[in-house]
Structure 1
Amino acid sequence: MMFFTRILAFLSVSALLSAALPLVPRANVGEGTWYYPGLGSCGITNTASDMIVAVSHLLYDSYPGATANPNLNPICGKKLVATYGGKSVTVTVTDKCMGCAGKYDLDFTPTAFSKLASTSVGRLTGVDWKWA
């Protein structure tokens, strides 16, 4: 009987803790740069004014469900929110960044980058981002 009481107490505490601790979306941190897009790896043609982003080739190619055909990568079309210096921008993944060295680096269009900082800055260190 004592064993049953302890198990019941453990399960009760576990249930209370899981209800009290909400899930927090995981944030990623990387460098942010900008580029002039064209036909991206997702098979979509974009312009400099589109609110899109290229994620690092390291993330793009290892994303769950990625295949040999980059146009069919499930990361395509996903939205993310990037934050830098107290400013945020929501962008859609349509490309991969071959020049990105870090797994969580992002390459924005000039319009999207300018929501975070002036394009004259060129590179942002410490861009936080999470899936929207």
Structure 2
Amino acid sequence: MMLPALSLLFLLPASAVMGVSTPPPGNNTFVLGKRQTFTNVRMTWYPNDTGPDTCTGESHQDSDFVVAMNTPQYGAGGCCGKQLVISYNGKSATATCVDECFTCPQYGQLDLTKGLFEYFAGDLGVGTVYGSWSYA
């Protein structure tokens, strides 16, 4: 007796048909993490004439939307190339993590390029703002 091709699909496990991966042996759960948002964190600005970044070795313009991550979260380059959505005073922007901020000891703290800081604060003379960010 020959079964129609469509019937064979029902004989296969769902993972084979749908391309669903199974967890590794001994691990029967998948953990879906909630995107963490860092709120009321200190954000300062830095000039890009300090030389190449620590992630790519490239130099950036003050107008680039890039950031330097605080030392505790930088994690030996773990943030390199990651996109962050930053919000302050009703404005949001996406920036790329390209460097470590050695003068940013607080967890969550970011150092923004001049252009990115001016986008949010309007004036570099403000010096420090407190906003929020999360990974995109």
The alignment's TM-score, normalised by the length of structure 1, stands at: 0.69
Work out whether residues 81 and 131 of structure 1, in 8 Å CA contact, stay in contact via their aligned partners in 2: yes
1:106-117 to structure 2, matched below 5 A, reads: 106-117=110-121
**Aligned mates of 2:54, 2:100 — CA distance in 1:** 6
Q: Kindly state the Cα deviation for residue 120 of structure 1 after the two structures are TM-superposed.
A: 1.7
> Where does residue 39 of structure 1 map in the other structure?
52
**Aligned mates of 1:33, 1:89 — CA distance in 2:** 15
**Aligned mates of 1:87, 1:52 — CA distance in 2:** 16
Give the total of aligned pairs: 100
> Where does residue 131 of structure 1 map in the other structure?
135
- 1:3-59, Cα deviation, whole Å (9 max, x unpaired): xxxxxxxxxxxxxxxxxxxx7522013100000123111122212111100010111
> Where does residue 77 of structure 1 map in the other structure?
81
Gaps (5+ residues) in structure 1?
1-22, 67-72
**Aligned mates of 2:38, 2:58 — CA distance in 1:** 25
Work out whether residues 88 and 115 of structure 1, in 8 Å CA contact, stay in contact via their aligned partners in 2: no
The alignment's TM-score, normalised by the length of structure 2, stands at: 0.67
Runs (4+) off by over 2 Å: none
Question: Is 2:32 aligned against 1:27?
Answer: no
Gaps (5+ residues) in structure 2?
1-32
> Where does residue 126 of structure 2 map in the other structure?
121
Q: What percentage of residue pairs aligned between the two structures are identical?
A: 35
Pick the structure with greater CA Rg.
2
Higher relative contact order (CA 8 A, sep 6+): 1
